[in-house]
Amino acid sequence: MTTVIEVKNLRKVYKRTRKVAVDDVSFSVSEGECFGLLGPNGAGKTTTLEILQGLRSATSGEVTLFGLNWKQHETKLRSLMGGVMQHNNLYEKLKVKECVELFASFYPSYTPIDTLLERFNLSEKKDAWLSELSGGQKQRVFLAMAVVGQPKLVFLDEPTTGLDPTSRQEFWHIIKDLKEAGTCVMLTTHYMDEAEFLCDNLAIINSGQIIESGAPSDIINRTFETPVIKEPRKATLNDVFLKLTGSTMERESYA
Ligand SMILES: Nc1ncnc2c1ncn2[C@@H]1O[C@H](COP(=O)(O)OP(=O)(O)OP(=O)(O)O)[C@@H](O)[C@H]1O
Ligand SMILES: [Mg+2]
């Protein structure tokens, strides 16, 4: 498997506050892999993702993406990746379709915009201003912007926060499709079911340090002496929501 992300001894100290946000973090992610960064609020997830995306400088350590680095290969790297930031108030003065078209224009090839808007259930809103959308609708636009250019690497910082269960499930399918196409996905989430479902490997970060990493099932079995045996999945309130609100998706089994 080709290594896409290689992070070695990454450290970030915010200058003004002298806060050590990321402390000697190392990991690697392969092609077609979904890698999760989990951890409590303030653990250093967004800081790490921002450094990886070339939006913030590291204090020390090494980051290579596709064997390239931000100092020498910024233009090439931008064409290979897409992303959704956790805090994003840009683009409020654009319409939904314009936002996605703008991002499509940054890439050599892209998914037809109308197809993508349909997939994200945004067709009805394509001429709406971003400022007129609900929180979850806006989040779906950001996801569409992240993937429209068919990037080889996608960074998603809490992509499903605020999404309704149907949109969240649709998002999971989109990530699965991306992975099958060989795209490497790096995401943060506070939803452990999501991490377990989507991530091939993950790292748990606490106070800037990785305290555990590996495949979700290996981590579970290492953490609890008695192996956790998955019972066949029972219907949940989530399933009720999907059924009653007319989700067209087939139900995914976690079991
Ligand atoms: N611009 C900044 N200047 C100074 N300190 C910062 C800055 N941004 C983040 N921090 C601090 O760095 C630490 C890590 O923050 P970060 O945003 O990376 O956490 P996170 O894991 O993404 O948390 P959350 O789950 O809440 O999104 C926190 O203690 C935060 O207060
Ligand atoms: Mg964050």
**Ligand whose nearest atom lies closest to the CA of 208:** 1
Q: Does residue 210 surpass a pLDDT of 80?
A: yes
- Lowest-confidence range among 102-106, 131-135, 190-194, 229-233? 229-233
**Is the pLDDT score of 255 beyond 50?**
no
What residues are paired with 204 via a beta bridge? 38, 212
Q: Determine the residue of 45, 53, 209 to mutate for testing ligand 1's pocket, defined as the one with the most ligand atoms within 8 A of the Cβ atom.
A: 45
41 C-alpha to ligand 1 centroid (Å): 8
Q: Token pair of 158, please?
A: 């809490």
Q: What is the mean pLDDT of the chain?
A: 89
Superfamily of domain 33-55+79-229 in CATH is P-loop containing nucleotide triphosphate hydrolases (3.40.50.300)
- Which residues surround ligand 1 with Cβ inside 6 Å? 14, 17, 19, 21, 39, 41-47, 86
The atom number, within ligand 1, closest to the CA of 22 reads 14
Rounded-to-integer distance, Cα 221 and Cα 218, Å: 5
Q: What is the dihedral of CA 75, 76, 81, 87, to 10 degrees?
A: -20
Note the pLDDT of residue 84: 73
Average pLDDT value for residue range 166-195:
91
